C-alpha cells in the first residue's frame, strides 16, 4: 500500500489528485470542530454513556463531531440513508428502474433525486436531533428561532459534506463519501488509544493482558477482512462463435465474479438501525434501562452489552445480507443477458437452468458473506463483555469500513497508474 502511494506521488497528475483529496479531508476535519451556536455540548454526556449504538455509530462516523455538536454533527448519514432508499425504490418502482438503465443521463437524474432526498432527510433528522438535544437540556435558549438556527446549521453541514464528497470523487482519488466516513472513523483513533491507556493504568497487569488480547484479535480480524474483501466465486462463461460477414466473433471464455462480501457494510447498518430503534424511542420517552416494568427490562436485555442483543444482532445481519444481495443481483436478468449475447455456463442449459444455477451459487456465497459480517460485528460485543472497557459494539463495523475503503482507494490508484502506463506505451 505504501509503495503504491509512493509511486503515485511521482506522477504529476496523480499527485495533484492526492493533494486535492487531502485538502478536502482537512476541510472536513476543520468543520468537525466548529460548534453550532446556541448549544451546550457539556449536557450531552448522559446521551453517550447510555447504550445507544445508533448514536454511537453516528458519532464515530462524524469523528466526534456529533458528541461535540459541531457543524458536521450529522455527518453524511442522511446521504447514506437516501442512497439506500433510492436503491430500494429503483427495484420497486419500474420508472426508476428504467431510468437507471438509461446510461449516464439516467444516473445523473437519479443522483439529482438522491441529492434532494438527502436534503429532506437531513431536515427531518436535524429536527429530531434538536428535540433530542432539548430533552437533554443542551439547547441554551429553546424557542422557534433557536430551532431554525440549529436545524439550518445541521442541514447545511450535511449538504456541504455531500458536495465535498462528490468533488473528491470527481477531482480526487477514491469515493468521496467513503473517504469522508473513513476520515471520521480514523479521527477517533487517538481517543480510543487514550481510553485503552486509562484502562491499563486503572486495571494493572490484568488490564494489560486484556488489551494485548484485544490488539491480537484486532490484527486477526483485519487480516480476515482483507482476505474476505477480495474473495470471490468465479462462474465460468463461454461465448459461442458466430460469423458476421468475413469476421468471426465470440468463442471466448470469461467469468462472472461474485464477491463473498458483496453487500459490504450495509447489512450491519440496517441491523444496527433496527436494534437501536427501541433505545432511541425510549430516550425520547424518558425510559431508562433497568427501570421497573416491561420496557425497563426490555431495554436492559436489548443493550449492546447483553448476550441476547448479540444473538439477535447476529441473525438480523444474516437476514439483511440476503435482503441486500437480492436487491443487487437478479439471476433471471443475468441469465437472459447471457442468452441474448450467445453466452452459456459450461454444462448448464441457457435460460431457466442458468438462472437457477446462479441463484444456488449466490445463496451459498451470500451465506458465507453473511456469517463473515455477523462474526466481525459480534466479536467486539463479546470482547467488551469480557474486558468491560467500554462500548466497542461498533468496532467491527468501523474496521470493515476502514479496511474496505483503504483497499478500494489503493486499487483505484493502481488502476490509474496502470492506465497511464499503457497510455505512455501507446504514444
Residue 417, domain member (yes or no): no
Q: Is residue 183 part of a domain?
A: yes
Are the CB atoms for 273 and 267 separated by under 8 Å?
no
Rounded to the nearest angstrom, the gap between the alpha carbon of residue 373 and the centroid of all alpha carbons in its chain is 12
- Are residue 201 and residue 290 in the same domain, yes or no? no
Mark whether 219 and 236 lie in a shared domain.
Answer: no
Q: Are residues 79 and 148 in the same domain?
A: yes
Query: Which of 7-21, 206-220, 233-247, 404-418 is the least confident region?
Result: 233-247
From 27, 34, 45, 118, select the one nearest 69 (Cα to Cα): 34
208 and 83 in a common domain = no
Do the domain assignments include residue 422?
Answer: no
Q: Picking from 20-29, 46-55, 212-221, 327-336, which range would have the lowest pLDDT averaged per residue? A: 46-55
Q: Which residue bears the cell 440476503?
A: 322
How much is the average pLDDT of 412-424? 71
Q: Is residue 120 part of a domain?
A: yes
Mean residue pLDDT of the chain comes to: 81
The mean pLDDT value for 193-220 works out to: 81
Tell me how many domains the chain contains.
Answer: 3
pLDDT-based confidence at residue 148 (cuts at 50, 70, 90): very high
- Who wins on pLDDT, 389 or 115? 115
161 and 242 both lie in a single domain: no
Confidence of residue 246 (pLDDT cuts 50, 70, 90): low
Q: What is the pLDDT at residue 185?
A: 84
Q: Which domain holds residue 343?
A: 231-393
Same domain, 310 and 296: yes
Q: How confident is the model at residue 51 (pLDDT cuts 50, 70, 90)?
A: very low
Rounded mean pLDDT, 218-234:
84
Residue 405 lies in a domain: no
Residues 54 and 136 in one domain: yes
CATH number reported for the structural domain that contains residue 295 in this entry = 1.10.3370.10
Position 406 in a domain: no
DSSP 242: E
Clarify whether residues 171 and 58 are in a common domain: yes
Residue 92 and residue 12 share a domain: yes
Q: Kindly report the number of other CB atoms within 10 A of residue 335's CB atom.
A: 24
Phi-psi region of 292 (alpha: psi -120 to 50; beta: other; left: phi over 0): beta
**What is the rounded CA–CA span in Å between residue 67 and residue 46?**
11
DSSP state of 75: T
**C-alpha cell of 288?**
431508562
Range 211-214, long-range pairs (CB < 8 A, 24+ positions): 211/387, 211/389, 213/387, 214/383, 214/387, 214/389
CB atoms within 10 A of CB 73: 28
pTM of the predicted structure, to 2 decimals: 0.80
Q: Identify whether the C-beta of residue 228 lies closer than 8 Å to the C-beta of residue 238.
A: no
Q: Is the pLDDT of residue 392 over 70?
A: no
**HEC letters along 288-355:** CCCCCCHHHHHHHHCCCCCHHHHHHHHHHHHHHHHHHHHHHCCHHHHHHHHHHCCEECCCCCCCHHHH
Same domain, 62 and 109: yes
Q: Rounded CA gap, 204 and 42, in Å?
A: 30
Do residue 59 and residue 125 come from a single domain? yes
Same domain, 180 and 243: no
| C-alpha cell recorded at residue 312 | 439477535
| Strand positions, DSSP E, 129-231 | none
Whether residue 401 is contained in a domain is answered as no
| Within-domain flag for 147 | yes
Amino acid at each position: 500500500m505504501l509503495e503504491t502511494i509512493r509511486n503515485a506521488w511521482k506522477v504529476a497528475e496523480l499527485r495533484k489528485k492526492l493533494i486535492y483529496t487531502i485538502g478536502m479531508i482537512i476541510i472536513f476535519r476543520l468543520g468537525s470542530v466548529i460548534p453550532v451556536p446556541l448549544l451546550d455540548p457539556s449536557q450531552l454526556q448522559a446521551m453517550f454513556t447510555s447504550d445507544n449504538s445508533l448514536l454511537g455509530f453516528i458519532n464515530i462516523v462524524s469523528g466526534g463531531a456529533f458528541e461535540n455538536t459541531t457543524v458536521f454533527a450529522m455527518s453524511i448519514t442522511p446521504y447514506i440513508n437516501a442512497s439506500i432508499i433510492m436503491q430500494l425504490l429503483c427495484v420497486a418502482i419500474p420508472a426508476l428502474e428504467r431510468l437507471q438503465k438509461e446510461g449516464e443521463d439516467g444516473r445523473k437524474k437519479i443522483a439529482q433525486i438522491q441529492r434532494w432526498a438527502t436534503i429532506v432527510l437531513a431536515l427531518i433528522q436535524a429536527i429530531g436531533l434538536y428535540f433530542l438535544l432539548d430533552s437533554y437540556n443542551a439547547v441554551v435558549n429553546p424557542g422557534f428561532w433557536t430551532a431554525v438556527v440549529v436545524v439550518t446549521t445541521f442541514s447545511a453541514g450535511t449538504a456541504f459534506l455531500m458536495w465535498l464528497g462528490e468533488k473528491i470523487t470527481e477531482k480526487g482519488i477514491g469515493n468521496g463519501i467513503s473517504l469522508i466516513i473513513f476520515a471520521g472513523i480514523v479521527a477517533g483513533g487517538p481517543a480510543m488509544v487514550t481510553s485503552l491507556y486509562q484502562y491499563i493504568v486503572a486495571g494493572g497487569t490484568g488490564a494489560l493482558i486484556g488489551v494485548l488480547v484485544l490488539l491480537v484479535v484486532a490484527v486477526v480480524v483485519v487480516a480476515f477482512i482483507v482476505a474476505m474483501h477480495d474473495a470471490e466465486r468465479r462462474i465460468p462463461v463461454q461465448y459461442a462463435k458466430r460469423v458476421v460477414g468475413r469476421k468471426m466473433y465470440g468463442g471466448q471464455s470469461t467469468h462472472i465474479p461474485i464477491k463473498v462480501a458483496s453487500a459490504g457494510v450495509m447489512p450491519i447498518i440496517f441491523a444496527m438501525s433496527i436494534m437501536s430503534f427501541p433505545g432511541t424511542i425510549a430516550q425520547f420517552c424518558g425510559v431508562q434501562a433497568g427501570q421497573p416494568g416491561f420496557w425497563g427490562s426490555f431495554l436492559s436485555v436489548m443493550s449492546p452489552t447483553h448476550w441476547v442483543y448479540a444473538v439477535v444482532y447476529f441473525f438480523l445481519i444474516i437476514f439483511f445480507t440476503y435482503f441486500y444481495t437480492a436487491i443487487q443481483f437478479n439471476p433471471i436478468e443475468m441469465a437472459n443477458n447471457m442468452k441474448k449475447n450467445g453466452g452459456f455456463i459450461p454444462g448448464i442449459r441457457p435460460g431457466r437452468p442458468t438462472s437457477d444455477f446462479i441463484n444456488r451459487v449466490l445463496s451459498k456465497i451470500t451465506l458465507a458473506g453473511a456469517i463473515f459480517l455477523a462474526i466481525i460485528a459480534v466479536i467486539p460485543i463479546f470482547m467488551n463483555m469480557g474486558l468491560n472497557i467500554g462500548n466497542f459494539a461498533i468496532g467491527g463495523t468501523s474496521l470493515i469500513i476502514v479496511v474496505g475503503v483503504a483497499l478500494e482507494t489503493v486499487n483505484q490508484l493502481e488502476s490509474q497508474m496502470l492506465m497511464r502506463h499503457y497510455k505512455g506505451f501507446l504514444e
